[in-house]
Homo-oligomer: A and B are copies of this chain.
Amino acid sequence: MRCIGVMTSGGDSPGMNAAIRAVVRTGIAKGLTVKAIRRGFAGLLDGDIREMGVRDVSGIIQRGGTVLQTARCPEFKDPKGQRLGLRRLNEEDIEGLVVIGGDGSLRGGLALHNLGVPVVGVPGSIDNDIADTDMSLGVDTALNTILRALDALRDTAASHERAFLIEVMGRKCGYLATVGGILGGAEMIAIPERPFALEDVADVVQDAYIKGKNHALIVVAEGANHGISEIADFLREHQVDFEVRVTILGHVQRGGRPSAFDRQLGTRMGVAAVKELLAGSSGVMIALSGRKMTPVSIEEATGRQREVSGEFLEIFSYVS
C-alpha cells in the first residue's frame, strides 16, 4: 500500500480534526502518500481530492468541526454512485480509505469495502449511539458543553423558584441526557429508552417543590417520547408551583474546542486506523474497548442499537 485517503462524513463532531491530523501524519511517517477527500462521499464523487503534507494539519487539533467538511450525498446510497466512488479512488491511486463519521458514514465505507477497497472506520458521533465502542468521537466535548449549561442554570436557580427544562441531543440514545443529568445535578432525565408519562414529570417537579428545593432541573433527550415543548405546556397547564423555563441547546453541542479526551481519542483512533490498513484489515471500525483500540466489524456495529448502560441508571437513582 502506497497511498491512502481520508474523509469525514455525516454530522461533524469535535475531535474529527485530531483524527485527520493523526491519519495524515502517521501515514506520512509510515512512508505513505495521504490524500484528503473533502465534503465526504459527495466530494469523492466530485473528485474533490488533494494530497496532504505534515504542515497542512498544523494548528487544527484545537478546532471544532472538520477541516475536510462534510455533506450529504444521496447518490452514494445507490450502487451506481458507489461504483463511481470506486472509480474516483482508482483515478487517484488511493489503495486504502479511512472514513471518519457516524452510523450512515460507516455503512458508506462498508459499501466500498464490499467493492474491494480496504476501508477502516473511525466512529464520530456526539450522541454516543454507535455500538461496540465505549465512546465515539465528540461525546466528551458535548458532555462538557452540556455541563457548562447546567452549571449556569443552577447558578441562577439558586435565586429563583423555577423548573428548568433543557433539551440535549440524542434521537435514539439517551447517553448525553443520562450522564449529563447525573453530573449536572438533574432531578429527572427523559430519554428515548424509557418512556414516561407527562404526569411523571409534574410529580417530580412538585416533589422538588414540596421537599423545599428551590428549583428542579429536567434533562430531556431530543428523542424522548414527549418533546420539551409538550412537557413545558403540560407543566404550565397543570400549574406546578415552579415557573417553567426552557433551554434548547441544539447544534451548540456539536461545536466548541475539542476536549482533551476527544483530542486523545481522535489521535489514538487515527493512528490505529492507519496501522490497521497497513496490517491488511478492512471492513472494520476502530473501537475504544476499555483502554485499548480494537478493530470491530462495521457490519455488526452498525446493525445494532447501543443501549444506555444499566450502571448509569443505577447511579442516577443513588445520587440524584
Q: What is A's interface to B at a CB cutoff of 8 Å?
A: 8, 11-12, 14, 18, 21-22, 25-26, 29, 58-59, 61-66, 69-71, 134, 140, 143-149, 151-162, 164, 166, 179, 182-185, 214, 245-257, 259-261, 263-264, 267-268, 271, 289-292, 311, 315, 317-319
23 A-B pairs within 8 Å (CB atoms) are namely: A22-B315, A25-B318, A58-B185, A59-B185, A61-B185, A62-B147, A62-B151, A62-B154, A63-B155, A69-B159, A71-B161, A146-B260, A152-B252, A164-B250, A179-B264, A183-B260, A183-B263, A245-B250, A245-B251, A247-B249, A247-B251, A248-B248, A259-B260
Chain B residue contacts of A153, Cβ below 8 A: 251-252, 255
Contact A263 B160 (CB under 8 A): no
Q: Looking at the assembled complex, report how far the CB atom of A39 sits from the nearest CB atom of chain B, in whole angstroms.
A: 9
Contacts A22-B318, A268-B315 hold; do A256 and B155 have CB atoms under 8 A apart?
Answer: yes
How many copies, total?
4
Lowest 5 CB-CB distances: which A-B pairs, in order? A290-B290, A152-B255, A64-B155, A155-B255, A247-B250
Contacts A155-B65, A159-B66 hold; do A182 and B255 have CB atoms under 8 A apart?
Answer: no
Contact B65 A259 (CB under 8 A): no
Contact A315 B159 (CB under 8 A): no
Chain B residue contacts of A257, Cβ below 8 A: 151
